[in-house]
Structure 1
Amino acid sequence: MLIETFADLICPWCYIGKNRLARALDSRPGLRPDIRWQPFQLNPDMPPGGMARSDYLALKFGGPERARQIHRMVEDTAERDGLPLALDRIRRTPNSFDAHRAIRIAGRQGQSNAMADALFTAYFVQGLDISDHEILAATAAALGLDGAEVKRLLATDAESATVQSADALARQMGLQAVPCYIFNRRYALSGAQEPASFLPLLDLGVDDAEHLSVVGG
């Protein structure tokens, strides 16, 4: 079964949703899915160097109080799921474009999903700036990849076109929010759904089809 994951690395619901999909898959050990990361930038106009977290939250949520309410909701959900989360460590909201490129580069060695997991941890647990090429290279090296080569490639336009085209495709498909999981290019489940919500789609084992039906919201 092909599962395409449209997500952004700075999205806490994507972090939670990826964990919930993994838990759902754990309950179906006989399934051998082909999981493919598909980039989506929530903030495509973010400056390359990102911006101060406080400024970003004020712009996105209209003020610190609303931001605190959203944070509490995310933190409560992560705690219930047993997922580590340290939003207070994040000082800057990065532009995620190069992090998506790093996942594509890691994918050349079959490590795209491992890289996505590692970058979620770097950002949401360690509070690291995942637009920093040094951090991206070190994250790749921790997975056993050639960190120096990853850094060299990030200094070029490697995978830029593929990330841009995948993001554009998502918007052409009508995606405006993530996460969104597409199964065999036929069915989609949107949002950070509970693990049980994935099971009917995992059990279908449907073949590829031309049309897309959207489930959830």
Structure 2
Amino acid sequence: MAARYGLDTDRLTELFGRIEELGAAEGLLLRPATARPVNSFDAHRLIRAAADHGLADAMAERLFEAHLTDNTDVADRTVLTGLARDTGLDAEAVRAVLDGTEHADAVRADRRRAGRVGIRQVPAFVVDGVPAAVGAESAAVLLDRLRRAAG
């Protein structure tokens, strides 16, 4: 993380502490300092697959919990299948998505769109094609920024 974002260890420790504090204020246990950085491409494909069943929010929540609280490897396909099953998706259907290319083009398009508007970190919220709020902020700050961006 330090190399990827050009941060020194002290700044990274400070940032992770801030994320933990913000999570605690919302009743969440977040452990970003011990989360394994992984390729989240398949996880994003599963969120899109879950959306087909009205379960995108549940899938995203389960993935965030697994990654940031449990520090689980959310790039591992066996792990992903179990997490998807936790949210109510059929394990065989999930394996078919992961073994194929379903939703891959849509996820790539999402990434290109994010890059075009300058998003390089999460969380990020875009209103009318313009980043309205980026980075770890309190819920109150995020809400204020979104309200201002929405006019």
Q: Match of 1:67, as an amino acid?
A: L
- Give the TM-score normalised by the residue count of structure 1: 0.58
The structure, 1 or 2, with the larger RCO (C-alpha pairs under 8 Å, 6+ apart) is 1
Hey, what does 1:81 align to over in structure 2? 26
- After superposition, the Cα gap between the structure-2 partners of 1:134 and 1:167, relative to the gap in structure 1 and judged at 3 Å, is same
Q: Match of 1:70, as an amino acid?
A: L
Aligned counterpart in structure 2 of residue 151 of structure 1, from 79, 84, 95: 95
Counterparts of 2:131 and 2:10 in 1: how far apart (Å)? Answer: 33
Higher strand share: 1
Deviates more, 1:62-71 or 1:108-117: 62-71
Structure 1 gaps of 5+ residues are: 1-56, 203-212
Aligned 8 A contact 2:63 2:74 in 1: yes
SS of residue paired to 1:93: coil
- 1:111-130 pair list within 5 angstroms: 111-130=55-74
Aligned counterpart in structure 2 of residue 189 of structure 1, from 132, 136, 145: 132
- After superposition, the Cα gap between the structure-2 partners of 1:87 and 1:111, relative to the gap in structure 1 and judged at 3 Å, is same
- Give the TM-score normalised by the residue count of structure 2: 0.80
Pairwise CA RMSD: 2.7
Counterparts of 1:136 and 1:167 in 2: how far apart (Å)? Answer: 20
Higher helix share: 2
Hey, what does 1:6 align to over in structure 2? none
Counterparts of 2:75 and 2:61 in 1: how far apart (Å)? Answer: 15
2:107 aligned with 1:166, yes or no? Answer: no
Structure 2 gaps of 5+ residues are: none
Hey, what does 1:96 align to over in structure 2? 40
- After superposition, the Cα gap between the structure-2 partners of 1:153 and 1:128, relative to the gap in structure 1 and judged at 3 Å, is same
SS of residue paired to 2:111: helix
Aligned length: 147
